[in-house]
Amino acid sequence: MIIMSSIWHFALAVPNLEQGMEEVGKAFEVTWRPVHRAETVLRDEHGIDHELECVFTFSEGGPPAIEMWESVPNSPLAPPGDTWIHHIGYWVNDLPAETERLDGYGWPCFMNAHSVAVHRGPGGLMLEPCDVNRDRPFLRDLFPPGTQHHGPPDNNDPKQYKIGRDFHKPVE
C-alpha cells in the first residue's frame, strides 16, 4: 500500500545544473548535497537503451528532497514538455511488485535501469518507486526511520560511478 508519507523526493530536469541549483535553491531556501556524476544506461519506453552521463544532486534536509539533474536532450532524462518537473519518488519494500502494480493500473514503465523504474500515468505524471532495501549512502537521512539504511548521510561515497542494468560500481 502506498501512503503519502512514503514520498521522499521531487525530481527536476534542468537545462543547466549550476543555474538550476541557484534558482531553485533561492526559491525553496535550500542548499545542495555534493554533485554526483553517473555513467548509466537507461532503457526508454520503446526499449531503446541510452548510454549517458547523469550529473545530479539532491537538496539538503528533508524528506521530501529535491532531486535535480542536468537534462540530457532526446533521452529519458530530458524534461517532459515545457516543465522541469520530471517525477515524484516514493519508497517501496518490493520494487518488482510495485512496478507490476503500476503497469496493471495503466501506468507503463517510461524508463528503467538497475534498481530504477519510472512510470508514466495520466496527464504525463511520472512516478518513481524507489527500493528502500537498496542503499544510497549520501541519502541515508532520507530513508524512512526504522529502515535498515536510515541514518546520517555518508558524503564520503564516490561522487562518480557507473549504474547499469547489471552493475553499480565506482569509476576507477
Domains in the chain: ranges and CATH: 4-170 (3.10.180.10)
Terminal alpha carbon distance of the chain: 40
Per residue in 56-103, pLDDT (tens digit) is 999 999 899 999 999 999 999 998 888 999 999 999 999 899 999 999
> In 3-state terms, what secondary structure has residue 14?
strand
pTM: 0.87
What is the DSSP track for 118-165? Answer: EEE-GGG-EEEEEETTS--GGGGGGSPTTSTT-SS--TTS-SEEEE-S
Q: Which three cell numbers stand for residue 129?
A: 518507486
pLDDT mean for each 10 residues of the chain (172 residues): 82 96 96 90 88 92 95 90 92 92 92 83 91 91 94 76 43 34
CA distances from 36 to 54, 55, 76, 90 (A): 8, 6, 18, 21
Cα Rg of the chain, angstroms: 15
